[in-house]
Amino acid sequence: MSTYRVNFQIGANTSRTWRCNYAVLMEAAAFNFSTTYINTFNETNAGGQVPMVLDWAIRNESSCEVARRNKTGTYACLSSNSECADSSNGPGYVCSCSKGYAGNPYLPGGCQDYDECKDSSSCPSGGICRNTEGGYQCSCRAGRKFSDKNKTCDPDTGLIIGVTVGFLVLMFFSFSGHMILQRRKLKKVKQEHFRQHGGMLLFERMKSENGLAFTVFTERELIHATNNYDKSRVIGKGGHGMVYKGIVKDNMPIAIKRCALIDERQKKEFGQELLILSQINHKNIVKLVGCCLEVEVPILVYEFIPNGTLFELIHGKNQALQISFSSLLRIAHEAAEGLNFLHSYASPPIIHGDVKSANILLDGNYMAKVSDFGASILAPSDKEQYVTMVQGTCGYLDPEYMQTCELTEKSDVYSFGVVLLEVLTGQEPLKLDGPETQRSLSSNFLSAMKENNLDAVLPNHIKGQESAELVRGLAELAKQCLDMCGSNRPSMKEIADELGRLRKLSLHPWVQLETEETRSLLSGTSTASFGMETATTGYPTQEGDNVPMNPRSSYYAR
């Protein structure tokens, strides 16, 4: 208010003269004229109080928007719960407390929550008022509901529905909360499994070795790839786990192996073994493309091999392919090359531990791929790494290993010798339904060799069609692999070299690789004897080694 002034003009023409005059600034609506104002003068009239309304505004700025932008800090609405409104009586603005608050908006913290429940008119009679920050809520006692429209407490006909809905909502939130807690718990468990299985070591090595083509899959990715491990996706099973066919991004087929339980020692070594296996790149070894470490027992991911196993080709569902003996010999040679790579070129060397025809897979071109490293270990450097429980498959187990529980490269050699017997005889390693004395293929074979009666274990098509020198050479090789003393067995390199020589003989039976005089000078043994070192061993593979199968077979059509 800029000015308030009252003037009385002296000497006015009046009927009476009073000692003084008086005036008052007051609300017009509250003024009621009375003649006593003229006829009577008293202290009440002169010094009494009258109602007055001051209509005012903050005139520093022209509007709220301008005041907020002012950088001089003169904005007057200092309370956090205040609002600004442009003045209606001229330039400027006024401040007021927000709805539900009362006090002085021009002071910091001046607007405080107003308790509307103190006002009896806030909620209807019989209602329950609950003050909230900046407002209030009305509710009714049990059996009645509050009507926002009428502001009354009406009988609650939908109480049962409300209780039911409330119960369902409560259950939903409880279930949601439980699921959130379980997910957090599962995440912690997955992180712990990842750490236990050497996940951090794996990632560090992957960063340091840029050429390491290896993928760490999430559990969700593998569940999606196998349709939640549907039974129809099972392509193999064994003592070390179940194998599923999966499809990952870019429609790439993979083989997913869920391993059986492993002990704490194996868990600690798992990351290191994965690193070694992931770096093996050999045409005759199934490629390990990745793994999943979020689960209690690690899941391995291999390349998918489509044409089954050597066991199926010899004994099982693919037996009808009528594969030629030379092709079987080629597959055995390729498997030997793969095992030789594991023993001789991996660093440290890897012992497969479960060599058998069922673990020799066949790719689209029927090339051998050594697989299933569930029983594999790194070559032991001390006795603490010796396994304490015999692993492997009956019929293929090394007798020396079963006595000492010491797994060595020569244990793989013995098992591979049994695979050679399968190729040579077409018989399974173990016949549980036959006479007890004829159940073991290796025992029957060794007995026949001792009695110089190899024909007793050979099938007719081998006796009549294959070179006697070839058959005898393969039999001698198998015999040396099955020696009861591991130190007397050949190495996988020597086996691969000898199989390469025999393959040459199977392709060209009329070629004599050495003369009788040369053989006598070198070793004093027959050509079939394996132990000699000849200039012909280790020949490189030539075109034509891959002998086609019987043209009538379905494989040839493929």
Annotate 207-243 with DSSP letters as a single string. HH-TT---EE--HHHHHHHTTTT-GGGEEEEETTEEE
Summarised one tens digit per residue, pLDDT across range 73-124 is: 778 888 989 999 998 888 889 999 999 899 999 999 999 998 888 887 778 8
Q: What is the mean pLDDT of residues 363-387?
A: 70
pLDDT of residue 439: 81
Six token digits for residue 492: 């996988």
Q: What is the mean pLDDT of residues 237-253?
A: 81
pLDDT of residue 321: 65
Q: At what angle do helices 468-481 and 409-425 cross, to 10 degrees?
A: 150
Of the pLDDT bands very low, low, confident and very high (cuts 50, 70, 90), residue 480 is very high
Residue with the bigger pLDDT between 238 and 367: it is 367
Find the distance separating the first CA and the last CA of the chain, reported in whole Å: 105
Q: Does residue 390 surpass a pLDDT of 70?
A: no
CB-CB contact of 370 with 284 (8 Å) = yes
Greatest extent of the chain over all pairs of C-alpha atoms, in Å? 170
Q: At what angle do helices 409-425 and 441-450 cross, to 10 degrees?
A: 80
pLDDT of residue 17: 55
pLDDT of residue 537: 28
Six token digits for residue 427: 């018989």
d(CA 336, CA 494): 9
d(CA 336, CA 352): 12
pLDDT of residue 540: 30
Percentage of the chain beyond pLDDT 70 is 69
Of the pLDDT bands very low, low, confident and very high (cuts 50, 70, 90), residue 355 is very high
Q: What is the mean pLDDT of residues 311-320?
A: 78
Of the pLDDT bands very low, low, confident and very high (cuts 50, 70, 90), residue 411 is very high
Summarised one tens digit per residue, pLDDT across range 10-61 is: 665 555 555 666 777 888 888 887 777 766 655 555 556 788 877 788 888 8
Q: Does residue 549 surpass a pLDDT of 60?
A: no
Residue 134's Cβ-count burial label (10 Å; 0-12, 13-18, 19+) is middle
Region 118-158: CATH code: 2.10.25
Residue with the bigger pLDDT between 415 and 469: it is 415
Residue with the bigger pLDDT between 120 and 271: it is 120
Of the pLDDT bands very low, low, confident and very high (cuts 50, 70, 90), residue 419 is very high
Q: Is 354 a catalytic residue?
A: yes
CB-CB contact of 442 with 417 (8 Å) = yes
pLDDT of residue 333: 96
**How many CB atoms lie under 10 A from the CB of residue 263?**
9
pLDDT of residue 446: 92
DSSP state at residue 548: -
Please state the domain extents for the chain: 118-158, 180-304
State the average pLDDT for the chain: 76
3-state SS record for 42-107:
CHHHHHCCCCCCCCCCECCCCCHHHHHHCCCCCCCCCCCCEEEEECCCCCCEEEEECCCEEECCCC
CA dihedral in degrees (484, 490, 496, 499; nearest 10)?
Answer: -70
Q: What is the mean pLDDT of residues 493-509?
A: 85
Q: What is the mean pLDDT of residues 297-302?
A: 80
Q: Which of 237, 193, 242 is nearest to 219 (CA)?
A: 193
Q: Which of 424, 413, 404 is nearest to 506 (CA)?
A: 424
**How many CB atoms lie under 10 A from the CB of residue 51?**
9
pLDDT of residue 508: 62
CB-CB contact of 367 with 377 (8 Å) = no
What is the second-level CATH architecture of the domain 180-304?
A: 2-Layer Sandwich (3.30)
pLDDT of residue 4: 79
Q: Is 257 a known ligand-binding residue?
A: yes
Summarised one tens digit per residue, pLDDT across range 57-76 is: 888 888 888 888 875 677 88
Q: Which of 453, 450, 444, 473 is nearest to 325 (CA)?
A: 473
pLDDT of residue 544: 35
Non-local (6+) Cβ contacts of 219 within 8 A are 190, 292, 294, 295, 299
Of the pLDDT bands very low, low, confident and very high (cuts 50, 70, 90), residue 182 is low
Percentage of the chain beyond pLDDT 90 is 24
d(CA 506, CA 470): 7
Annotate 359-384 with DSSP letters as a single string. GEEE-TT--EEE---TT-EEPPSSGG
Of the pLDDT bands very low, low, confident and very high (cuts 50, 70, 90), residue 185 is low
CB-CB contact of 390 with 402 (8 Å) = yes
Tell me, yes or no, if the two domains 118-158 and 180-304 fold the same way: no
**135-140 vs 127-132, strand pairing mode:** antiparallel
Residue 97 phi, psi (nearest 5): -75, 145
Summarised one tens digit per residue, pLDDT across range 522-542 is: 343 333 333 333 222 233 333
Of 354, 372, 398, 497, which one is the catalytic site residue? 354
Q: Does residue 514 surpass a pLDDT of 50?
A: no
Six token digits for residue 408: 């060595």
Please state the pTM of the whole predicted model: 0.56
SS3 state of residue 294 = coil
- What's the full length of the chain, in residues? 558
